[in-house]
């Protein structure tokens, strides 16, 4: 949600699209660096350079988000696969360590 105190400082497009700007991804992007200021310049002042800069920053931001999500998913699948292999080899639950054979 848009903070009521900030409401007058934000462009009208920001206030009119409260649902869009309440998205956690968009909030995170807008709170990074001076993106709010660039957004204000791009919308209120129709500054094409600010708009292009903001667009490029969002592309880089979203690429980082996707990369982090991919690495997280890859790690989770690896751990799951490792646990299944360990269980198949040891015949025990994943939470237990295979006992050493004598």
Nearest residue to 37 (alpha-carbon basis) of 23, 57, 20: 57
Query: pLDDT by residue (tens digit) across 24-69?
Result: 999 999 999 999 999 999 999 999 999 999 999 999 999 999 999 9
- Dihedral sign, Cα of residue 61, residue 64, residue 70, residue 75: negative
In sequence order, the 6+-apart residues with CB closer than 8 A to the CB of 41 are 47, 50
The percentage of the chain sitting over the pLDDT mark of 70, rounded to a whole number, equals: 74
Q: What's the predicted TM-score (pTM) here?
A: 0.66
């Amino acid at each position: 949600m848009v903070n009521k105190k900030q409401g007058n400082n934000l462009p009208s497009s920001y206030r009119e699209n409260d649902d869009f700007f309440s998205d956690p991804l968009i909030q995170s992007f807008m709170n990074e660096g001076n993106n709010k200021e660039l957004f204000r310049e791009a919308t209120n002042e129709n500054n094409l350079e600010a708009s292009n800069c903001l667009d490029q920053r969002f592309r880089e931001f979203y690429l980082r988000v996707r990369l982090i999500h991919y690495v997280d998913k890859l790690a989770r699948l690896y751990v799951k696969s490792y646990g299944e292999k360990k269980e198949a080899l040891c015949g025990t639950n994943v939470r237990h360590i295979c006992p050493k054979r004598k």
